[in-house]
Structure 1
Amino acid sequence: MKNAPVDAAMLSSAATPDAVAASLEARLACFPARRVEVGARAVGYREAAGAKDEAGLPLVLLHGIGSGAASWVQQLETLGAARRVLAWDAPGYGESTPVAAGSPLASDYADVLRAWLDALDVERCVLVGHSLGAIVAGAFAAANAARVAGLLLISPAGGYGAASPDVRASKRDARLAMLADLGPAGLAEKRSANMLSAHAGDAARAWVRWNMARIVPAGYAQATHLLANADLATDLAAFDGRVAVAVGEQDSITPPAACERLADAARTPLRIVPRAGHAGYVEAPAAYDALIGAFFLDVEQQRENSVKNNGVPE
C-alpha cells in the first residue's frame, strides 16, 4: 500500500518547523476538523469517507496522551482511500468536551466513545488504539464486545491501576508537575523526541512536536489521571474477541517487554515493528499502514466467512 505524495518541504532534512506545519495543515485540509454534539457534550474528529460501502466496517483510530486526531493524517490518506476511517480527539483534546470526573476512569472515556459512535451511526468497527488510546479502546471493547469486530493496540500504555497507591500517585504527580512547569510548548520541545526512534527523520520529529504543542492542559491533566487509574491488562483479559498487539522495536516509552505482558493478557503474540519508536505510525507510516491494513482485512475475511457459514456476521 503506497503512501500519498508528501511535499518536499515535509521530507527535507532542512525543512523549517513553519514549512512542516504548513505542509501538514495543507494535508489536513483534506480531512477538516468536524464536531458532533453528543448530548450535552461535543466530540471533535476527522474523517476519510473512503469507498462507499454501507455494509463495510469503519476503522476507528484513537490517539495517545500527547497527540490528537491530526496525528493520523497519513492513515486517513492511505487507509481512508478504501474504507471509512474516523479519528477522534479524545475528551479534553481539540474541541472535544472534557469528561466530568476530575480523576477519570477508562470507563468514562469509553462511555464517550460509545456515544460518539452512536451519533455517527457506527454499530460495529475495527478499533485501533495507540498508547493511551489503547486504554480507552480496551475499556470500550470489554464493555461493548459486540461492537468491536477487531481490536488493534499499537504501543499500548498499560496504566498504573494495578500498582500500589504510592506508585500511582508518584507517576501521576510527576507528569502533572512537568505539565505545570513546561506547558504544552515546553512539553513538545522537551519530550517529543522520546516518541521516536533514532531512525526518524526531521519531518517526523517536527510533526510530533506540532501535535504535542497543541494539547489542551486541562485535557492532558485528566488523561494523566486516567493513566494512573487504568489497568488495561484486566480489560484485555475480559474481552473475548480478535486482538492484536504491536510495538516499535525501539519504543522507549512502552517498550516491547511491557507490551509483551499486555499481549499475554490478550492471549495473542506480540508483533514487533523494526526500526520504529513509540509514535511509529508517524515516523514509519508504510509499515504501520501495512500492519493496520492487514489486520483490517483479516477481520473482514473472518466476518465474510461467518456470514457464509452462519448467515450472520461474527
Structure 2
Amino acid sequence: MDVQGMTVKATGREARALGVTEKTIRAYGTNVRYLEAGHGPPLVLIHGIGESASCWSANLEALAAHFHIYAPDVVGWGRTPPSDQHDYTMASYARFNLAFMDAIGLARANIIGWSLGGASALWAALAEPDRFERVMLIDSAGLGAEVHWLFRVLQVPGLGELVLAPHTAAAYLRYKYLFTRQRATVTREYLDEAIRDTRYAWHRQTVFRTLRAHSPLWRGQRDIDVHERLHELPMPVHILWGREDAVIPCKHGERAVTRLQQGELTIFEDCGHMPMLEYQQRFNELAIRFFRG
C-alpha cells in the first residue's frame, strides 16, 4: 500500500477522537484522503453528496472503540481530487468503494453509507456481495424516485451553479437546515469543518457532474433505484431513517426493508436527513449493536 499518514492535530471534533489519523492513499486513479481510527472488525463509512469524511465527526470516537474505522473523502469530494477513471455514475461510485477497500487491504468489511453514499454502498454490495459482512444504510438514495426539488434544480446547467454560488457559512447553514430537524446539532464547529473540506473547486463541480450523470430532473432517482434488486443481498442490512427527512422520504426505507433477505428498519422520530448527527449517541449505540451482531 502506498500510504502517507499523519496524526491529526487537535482541531475540530474529528481530531479529538482518540487515535484518529488522517491519511492519503492512491486508489481509483487519485489520491484519496481518509480518516482512520480504532481496532477491531473493519468498518468503512461512506458520506453523502456535497460532503466529506468530516460528516462523521460526531461518531468516530464511539465507533472506533469497537471497530477499525476507515472514512474516505469519496472521489471528487472534500480533499480527494477527481479521477480520470470516474464518470460520476453510481456504478463508478461503487467501483470507487471497492477500489478504496482494495487499496487499504480489505478483502471484506462492514460498511455504512449515508444518502448518496448509501446508494453507492448498495451498488457495491450488489456487485460483490462476498466482500461485505453487514451493511447499514442511512436515509439512503437509490431506493425510490422521489427527492427534494433542490436536487432537481441543481441538475439544470446554469441554474444549479447560480443556486450554489454563495460559498459562505450562512449559505452552508441554510443547506444544512434543509438536511436536519434537530438544527441545534449543526454547530459552528461542525460548519467550520464542513466548509474547510468543501472549499476545493472540484468539490462543487462534482455536485453538478454527479446529478447530471443520472436521470433528467423529471425522473428523480429512477436511474439509480435498485429496490427491485434488494432481495439479492445475502448479508444483514439495517436501514435507518429520519421520520421527517425532507430530502428523501422515509417511505423509501419502509418499502425497502420488506424486500431484504435479512433486513431491519429503525426510524428516528423528529429527525431529518442526518440521524448520525441529530441523534449522535442513539445512532452510535445502534450501529455498534448491529455491527457486533
TM category (shorter chain) comes to 0.7 to 0.9
Corresponding residue for residue 186 of structure 2 = 204
Amino acid at match of 1:188: Y
Shift of 1:68: 1.0
Larger mean CA deviation between 151-160 and 58-67 belongs to 151-160
Aligned with residue 155 of structure 1, among 120, 134, 139: 139
Corresponding residue for residue 258 of structure 1 = 252
Q: Could you tell me how far apart the structure 1 residues matched to 2:64 and 2:281 are?
A: 14
Corresponding residue for residue 45 of structure 1 = 34
Q: Is the 8 A contact 2:110 2:134 kept in 1?
A: yes
C-alpha distance 280-210 of structure 1, shift in aligned 2 (>3 A): farther
Larger mean CA deviation between 65-74 and 225-234 belongs to 225-234
Report the secondary structure of 1:219's partner residue.
Answer: helix
Q: Could you tell me how far apart the structure 1 residues matched to 2:134 and 2:160 are?
A: 35
Larger mean CA deviation between 25-34 and 187-196 belongs to 25-34
Confirm or deny that 1:294 pairs with 2:289: yes
C-alpha distance 212-262 of structure 1, shift in aligned 2 (>3 A): farther
Shift of 1:275: 3.1
Corresponding residue for residue 239 of structure 2 = 245
Aligned with residue 160 of structure 2, among 146, 153, 178: 178
Higher helix share: 1
Shift of 1:101: 7.0
Corresponding residue for residue 107 of structure 2 = 123
Q: Is the 8 A contact 2:136 2:237 kept in 1?
A: yes
C-alpha distance 75-95 of structure 1, shift in aligned 2 (>3 A): same
Larger Rg: 1
Q: Could you tell me how far apart the structure 1 residues matched to 2:190 and 2:57 are?
A: 12
Amino acid at match of 1:221: F
Report the secondary structure of 1:151's partner residue.
Answer: strand
Report the secondary structure of 2:155's partner residue.
Answer: helix
Corresponding residue for residue 236 of structure 1 = 230
Confirm or deny that 1:270 pairs with 2:252: no
Corresponding residue for residue 218 of structure 2 = none
Corresponding residue for residue 7 of structure 2 = none
Q: Is the 8 A contact 1:151 1:244 kept in 2?
A: yes
Corresponding residue for residue 279 of structure 2 = 284
C-alpha distance 23-90 of structure 1, shift in aligned 2 (>3 A): closer
Q: Is the 8 A contact 2:19 2:38 kept in 1?
A: no
Shift of 1:211: 5.3
Q: Could you tell me how far apart the structure 2 residues matched to 1:102 and 1:78 are?
A: 33
Higher strand share: 2
Shift of 1:212: 4.9
Corresponding residue for residue 4 of structure 1 = none
Corresponding residue for residue 5 of structure 2 = none
Q: Could you tell me how far apart the structure 2 residues matched to 1:103 and 1:39 are?
A: 12
Q: Could you tell me how far apart the structure 1 residues matched to 2:239 and 2:129 are?
A: 17
Q: Could you tell me how far apart the structure 2 residues matched to 1:102 and 1:38 are?
A: 11
Q: Could you tell me how far apart the structure 2 residues matched to 1:174 and 1:266 are?
A: 35
Gapped regions of structure 2 (runs ≥ 5): 1-9, 216-222
C-alpha distance 293-37 of structure 1, shift in aligned 2 (>3 A): same
Corresponding residue for residue 212 of structure 2 = 225
Q: Is the 8 A contact 1:259 1:270 kept in 2?
A: yes
C-alpha distance 270-39 of structure 1, shift in aligned 2 (>3 A): closer
Q: Could you tell me how far apart the structure 2 residues matched to 1:46 and 1:237 are?
A: 32
Cα deviation code 1:98-142 (max 9, x no counterpart): 244785321111112111111111111111100110011001000
Amino acid at match of 2:276: Y
Report the secondary structure of 1:107's partner residue.
Answer: helix
Q: Is the 8 A contact 1:41 1:97 kept in 2?
A: yes
Larger mean CA deviation between 129-138 and 32-41 belongs to 32-41
Cα deviation code 1:59-78 (max 9, x no counterpart): 11111113210111222111
Report the secondary structure of 1:173's partner residue.
Answer: coil
Shift of 1:240: 2.5
Gapped regions of structure 1 (runs ≥ 5): 1-20, 299-314
Q: Could you tell me how far apart the structure 2 residues matched to 1:136 and 1:207 are?
A: 28
C-alpha distance 26-103 of structure 1, shift in aligned 2 (>3 A): closer
Q: CA RMSD in A?
A: 3.0
Report the secondary structure of 2:287's partner residue.
Answer: helix
